[in-house]
Amino acid sequence: MKFACDKAALCEAVNSVSPAVSAKSTLVALECILLSINGNTLSVIGYNTELGITKTLEVSSSESGDVILNARLFSEIINKMPSGMVQISVDEKLLTLITGGSAQFTIVGMSAEEYPEIPKIDPEHSFAIENAMLRNMISETLFAVSQDTAFPALTGTLFEGKNGVLYLVSVDGKRLALRKEEVGCTEDFRFIVPGKTLSEFLKLSSRFISEREDGSLPVSIGVGSRHILFSCCGFTMVSRLLEGDFIDYTVAIPGEGTTEAVVSTRAFMESISRASIIISEKVKNPIRAMFDSDGIEVSCETGLGKIDDRITAKITGEPVRIGFNDRYMMDALKASGEDEVRLELGSTLSPIKIMPLEGDSFTFLVMPMRLKDDR
């Protein structure tokens, strides 16, 4: 195995696949990166049996082959090599010679036969979506993924395709986040992607660079019975899917509320931020919000003190008072990405629904917190 390539391109490939490498494993091969040369194409692969990331790039090669190298060691070597071209050759004993500028390393490799095989997906469903849109949909729902492993299905985000519309839904029992966009998927489907996978996809997809003249950047998605595959710009990411039944989120979303508030997202967030100053981690006191004809009165009282604040808002319907968790509401408002949002409320103990002023591209629910004087 022998090839040469630009150091910067190889660094990007190694750094991109590193999140899929096990930091510590009983199987030494999982702590390694697989390098595979086929013709003039180099595949750099990281895989930890749950998540696999591959980056392919064109190199100058005179000999095909495969080798696995300790990921931490190889990454440090490549990142600290002088700029310019790097040459790598592997002999019959898997001794790997890495040369760049005046620097030269020799490290011991391992046989690629010891590396676990990345699952090959026979897609049951496949579709494409613009990278920017997919990133937005993921980032605007990922915050509501559950961290409670007692309910594995809720530690991921539901992907559901219905009538050409893609829905992403995350639920953790105290809040819900739903995003939907028309993507033209021709089949209906329903599967759950682990939150950890989506978090890594957001990091990886920031490296995607469009080579198209129109700047479009479609991500291809293929889904098998147990795995999902994301492909774009020479990168592929394979992840297992979560098993189990996701909740019927349509039942959880309340109908039209009796009170509606149109409010500046920034003003509401700033008011909540002020109120949260006196909320301690030990006792998560609720923030009280009174929605009346004059706007929203925001207040909170804890052992550290009390605050009363008021912001302007356009209120229609009956006055209503409700309590909520400051962080949950802040997460939802931040995820909206809107200058103004529409809040729909029912009773004091009904979920707070947060939506855009026009349409229903997103729906966020924040469950209320019971106030001491609630009956």
Give the tens place of pLDDT for each residue, 23-73: 988 899 999 999 999 999 999 999 999 999 999 999 999 899 999 999 999
Domain positions in the chain are 2-114, 125-249, 253-366
Cα of first residue to Cα of last residue in the chain, in angstroms, is: 74
Q: Which CATH architecture has domain 253-366?
A: Box (3.70)
> Model-level pTM?
0.91
CA distance 347 to 322: 8
Choose among 55, 75, 79: nearest CA to 204. Answer: 55
Q: What is the pLDDT, as a whole number, of residue 313?
A: 96
Give the tens place of pLDDT for each residue, 240-280: 999 999 999 999 999 888 999 999 999 999 999 999 999 98
- Tens place of pLDDT per residue across the chain (375 aa): 999 999 999 999 999 999 999 998 889 999 999 999 999 999 999 999 999 999 999 999 989 999 999 999 999 999 999 999 999 999 999 999 999 999 999 999 999 999 999 999 989 999 999 999 999 999 999 999 999 999 999 999 999 999 999 999 999 999 999 999 999 888 899 999 999 999 999 999 998 876 565 557 999 999 999 999 999 999 999 999 999 999 999 999 998 889 999 999 999 999 999 999 999 877 778 999 999 988 999 999 988 899 999 999 999 999 999 999 999 999 999 999 999 999 999 988 999 999 999 999 999 999 999 887 654
Q: What is the DSSP string of 61-84?
A: EEE-EEEEEEHHHHHHHHHTSPSS
Q: Which CATH architecture has domain 125-249?
A: Roll (3.10)
Phi-psi region of 244 (alpha: psi -120 to 50; beta: other; left: phi over 0): left
Q: What is the DSSP string of 142-211?
A: GGG----TTSGGGGEEEEEEETTEEEEEEE-SSEEEEEEEE----S-EEEEEEHHHHHHHHHHHTT----
Pick the CATH number of 2-114 from 3.30.1330.10, 3.40.50.300, 2.70.98.50, 3.10.150.10: 3.10.150.10
Q: 125-249: same fold as 2-114?
A: yes
